[in-house]
């Protein structure tokens, strides 16, 4: 198959005051740059666009490569491309880096026009809603009145939920994968410890570490904690068991002995190369704040105006966003007599299943997307 | 009920060479001090002694108070005392701080007689077996030839398993509670991240922080991670839900908002007052090294010489030491035609259930202990 080559684009907003957004905190914020990538062609009616929303550590680079020599394609390349579930021969796939991120969209590492230095902790606390408000500016800019679908896993699913609630007429269908209508206290707990690790790294200072030594240790610890929660007891048993790393016997040293330790060490180390610690603080905080039942009184009330055709998918071994949280969404939609399909996929891969179980998930998504196709 | 007043005692060993132990690593080690507490009276035959083995953060102070004005009694006070499941009117309860600990038994904070400074990282890497070798010296010292029972939860259960394998004739019965025959890769993963947090704390230095600023942040993070793994999604939902701490609205600050965050902060902060970071490294490493199937070829082989009457207890919501790991022990015992009872207790309390579900667990233990009573 021919290699899909994609390009990151930047939309600059906020040069005039109309493009400054009002955040959920009440603060106005701008200017805003949005990094986004488009794969496939927007048709004349502009009704074949699918917005894919990324998870905590994702970015706009959803599929393809920037150049042939790139080692890896985008994060959901197995799902997005010609003939793939998100079929770029049919659909125009849009993916943008979220507000607060560190991959081109305005975030804490961006320059604060007032101080002409990076925002650092002067960046405002944002919400999933705020991320979606920014995405809407991009969709408006592209002249799209209605998205064929908004889809996302994990935090991406939260954004899709915010879309169908805030802009119901703009979303024809939505796929909520391995996600939830609120972050559980378990999720908040892990996020809190990750933030604590970052903020107690002596290189963190008060977040103003740009151009200096970065709080690598703290961010690596946060990432390692995250990684454990993305796996499952079963997937770790299958993947690592109690195998030793590069040795035949226990070392009787305090250093790493086991393969799972080396794996985490590697994951932590590689993450700090590509992710900004302050973004980790802001994006996890946005997730922790996500609470549709709390905001609307009940999940049923939150979803009452939804018009999108819905797909909800969970995975059996996902203990970070367990099936019961998907079922809560499904039940609330059904009580509102909405069009919803639900599937719990058998998988040992834990939360990461939304990235790994691409065959099972792909078939379900393909069928869901195809069901609503207009023949365009 | 009258308050049980107990006393911590210290046994000093190793003044002659016969009392230096050979560790699993092959190194000789001594001298060794053992902190222990005894509740109840050893009968003339010395056949009513029960050894209780503590978990990672426990110590010899299993029950009662040192003085009336103490705020809290020992860690398993609900289970140990007159008329309680471990009935001190009948049994003589012994509990000692493990080797490598920081509550009186020799550990990394103890003075290395060679350097006359604390061992710090010169302390040898130890195993659960090594802890049990030291306990055996205490039991020998007390003149006890056979323990009526060895009981423990979590890491305490690992020690009980090591007892029945290494000294089968010395153990009449054993209760293995919320434990496992090996630490899973999930368990190793969490332990590794905790150790990493401690060792990347700038105050850790090379472990030689005694008398200086302690690596509090790192140890607090390790403890917070641990605490999450001792709870369950369900227990956290029941206990915290998404309640805010001391506020009515989200702060839109990066600081803690939720009750679960304050809880973890408190747990982390109080732990560093009472636990040595180096002990955390050594004791978690000992747990990670525990692997009966790996050591003996199979769990069935490991347990073939066991003569103790066995009780194995697990809890439904314990995801750190899940029921399947208890079942593995039970199956291996049954294949060896050993006398074993198994109970999975319905509980939402997670791994901490072994400390919290004292009524259910108490009834089972009482019945198990009573079944083998000699009428003494």
Query: B102: part of which helix (H) or strand (E)?
Result: none
CATH number at residue A77: 3.40.50.1820
Interface of A with B in 265-294 (CB under 8 A): 265, 268, 281-282, 285, 288-289, 291, 294
Domain identity same for A81 and A23: yes
Residue A95 φ/ψ, nearest 5 degrees:
-140, 130
Model pLDDT for residues A65-123, shown as the tens digit of each residue? 999 999 999 999 999 999 999 999 999 999 999 999 999 999 999 999 999 999 999 99
Which of B100, B107, B229, B252 should one mutate to test binding to chain A, selecting the residue with the greatest count of A CBs within 10 A?
Answer: B252
Domain identity same for A124 and A239: no
Per the prediction, chain B carries an average pLDDT of 96
- Using pLDDT thresholds of 50, 70 and 90, give the confidence band for residue B372: low
Instruction: Check pLDDT > 70 for residue B154.
Output: yes
Per the domain annotation, does A376 fall within a domain?
no
Per the domain annotation, does B219 fall within a domain?
yes
Query: Chain centroid to CA A194: how far?
Result: 17
Domain identity same for B231 and B261: yes
Q: Is the distance from CB of B94 to CB of B50 less than 8 angstroms?
A: yes
Q: What average pLDDT does this structure show over B171-190?
A: 98
DSSP H helical ranges for chain A:
128-141, 155-166, 185-199, 216-230, 233-239, 259-274, 277-289, 292-296, 299-302, 323-335, 353-356, 358-371
Interface of B with A in 110-139 (CB under 8 A): 121, 124-125
Name the one residue in this structure whose structure tokens are 């559980």: A184
Q: What average pLDDT does this structure show over B304-328?
A: 98
The residue out of B246, B263, B283 marking a domain boundary is B283
The per-residue pLDDT for A375 is 44
What CA–CA distance (Å, rounded) separates A118 from A107?
Answer: 9
The per-residue pLDDT for B14 is 74
HEC string for A17-41:
HHHCEECCCCCEECCEEEEEEEECC
Percent of chain B with pLDDT over 90: 95
Residue ranges of chain A with per-residue pLDDT less than 70: 1, 15-19, 371-376
The total domain count for chain A is 2
Per the domain annotation, does A2 fall within a domain?
no
Active site residues of B: 154, 318, 351
Domain identity same for B31 and B17: yes
Instruction: Check pLDDT > 60 for residue B211.
Output: yes
Domain identity same for B345 and B260: no
Per the domain annotation, does A343 fall within a domain?
yes
Domain identity same for A270 and A302: no
Per the domain annotation, does A359 fall within a domain?
yes
Q: Is the distance from CB of B313 to CB of B358 less than 8 angstroms?
A: no
Domain identity same for A49 and A171: yes
Instruction: Check pLDDT > 50 for residue B118.
Output: yes
Domain identity same for B21 and B137: yes
| Nearest CB to B260 within list A124, A189, A285 | A189
The residue in chain B having the minimum alpha-carbon distance to the alpha carbon of residue A283 is: B254
The per-residue pLDDT for A14 is 74
- Domain span including residue B203: 188-283
Query: A111: part of which helix (H) or strand (E)?
Result: strand A111-112
Question: How many other C-beta atoms can be found within 10 angstroms of the C-beta atom of residue A12?
Answer: 11
Domain identity same for B38 and B165: yes
The per-residue pLDDT for A63 is 98
Per the domain annotation, does B174 fall within a domain?
yes
- Using pLDDT thresholds of 50, 70 and 90, give the confidence band for residue B2: confident
Model pLDDT for residues B7-60, shown as the tens digit of each residue? 999 999 876 656 689 999 999 999 999 999 999 999 999 999 999 999 999 999
Tokens linked to A343: 């599937």
Domain identity same for A42 and A134: yes
The per-residue pLDDT for B375 is 44
Domain identity same for A117 and A257: no
Instruction: Check pLDDT > 70 for residue B170.
Output: yes
- CA distance, residue A114 to nearest chain B CA (Å): 20
The residue out of B283, B304, B327 marking a domain boundary is B283
Q: Which of B346, B188, B155, B285 is nearest to A233 (CA)?
A: B188
Instruction: Check pLDDT > 50 for residue B194.
Output: yes
Name the one residue in this structure whose structure tokens are 């609470």: A291
Per the domain annotation, does B53 fall within a domain?
yes
Domain identity same for B295 and B344: yes
Which of A129, A187, A189 should one mutate to test binding to chain B, selecting the residue with the greatest count of B CBs within 10 A?
Answer: A189
The per-residue pLDDT for B19 is 65
Per the domain annotation, does B376 fall within a domain?
no
ipTM of predicted complex: 0.95
The per-residue pLDDT for B373 is 55
pTM (2 decimals)?
0.96
């Amino acid at each position: 198959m021919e290699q899909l080559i994609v390009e990151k684009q930047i939309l600059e907003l906020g040069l005039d005051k109309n493009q400054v957004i009002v955040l959920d905190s009440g603060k106005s914020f701008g200017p805003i740059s949005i990094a986004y990538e488009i794969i496939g062609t927007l048709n004349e009616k502009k009704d074949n666009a699918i917005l894919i929303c990324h998870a905590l550590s994702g970015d706009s680079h959803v599929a393809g490569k920037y150049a042939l020599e790139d080692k890896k394609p985008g994060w959901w390349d197995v799902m997005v491309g010609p003939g793939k579930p998100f079929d770029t021969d049919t659909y125009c796939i849009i993916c943008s880096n979220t507000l607060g991120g560190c991959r081109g969209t305005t975030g804490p590492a961006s320059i604060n026009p007032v101080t002409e230095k990076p925002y650092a902790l002067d960046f405002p606390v944002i919400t999933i809603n705020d991320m979606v408000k920014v995405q809407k500016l991009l969709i408006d800019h592209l002249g799209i009145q209605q998205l064929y679908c908004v889809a996302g896993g994990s935090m991406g699913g939260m954004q899709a939920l915010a879309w169908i609630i805030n802009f119901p007429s703009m979303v024809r269908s939505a796929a909520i994968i391995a996600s939830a209508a609120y972050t559980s206290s378990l999720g908040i707990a892990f996020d809190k410890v990750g933030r604590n690790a970052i903020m107690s790294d002596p290189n963190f200072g008060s977040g103003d570490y740009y151009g200096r030594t970065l709080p690598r240790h703290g961010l690596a610890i946060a990432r390692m904690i995250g990684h454990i929660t993305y796996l499952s007891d079963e997937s770790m048993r299958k993947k690592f068991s109690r195998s030793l790393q590069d040795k035949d016997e226990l070392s009787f040293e305090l250093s790493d002995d086991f393969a799972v330790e080396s794996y985490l060490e590697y994951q932590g180390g590689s993450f700090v190369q590509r992710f900004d610690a302050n973004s980790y603080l802001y994006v996890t905080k946005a997730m922790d704040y996500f609470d549709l039942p709390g905001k609307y009184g009940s999940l049923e009330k939150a979803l009452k105006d939804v018009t999108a055709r819905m797909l909800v998918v969970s995975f059996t071994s996902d203990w970070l966003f367990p099936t019961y949280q998907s079922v809560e969404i499904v039940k609330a939609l059904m009580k509102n007599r909405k069009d919803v399909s639900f599937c719990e996929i058998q998988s040992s891969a834990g939360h990461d299943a939304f990235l790994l179980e691409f065959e099972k998930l792909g078939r379900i998504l393909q069928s869901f997307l195809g069901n609503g196709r207009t023949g365009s």
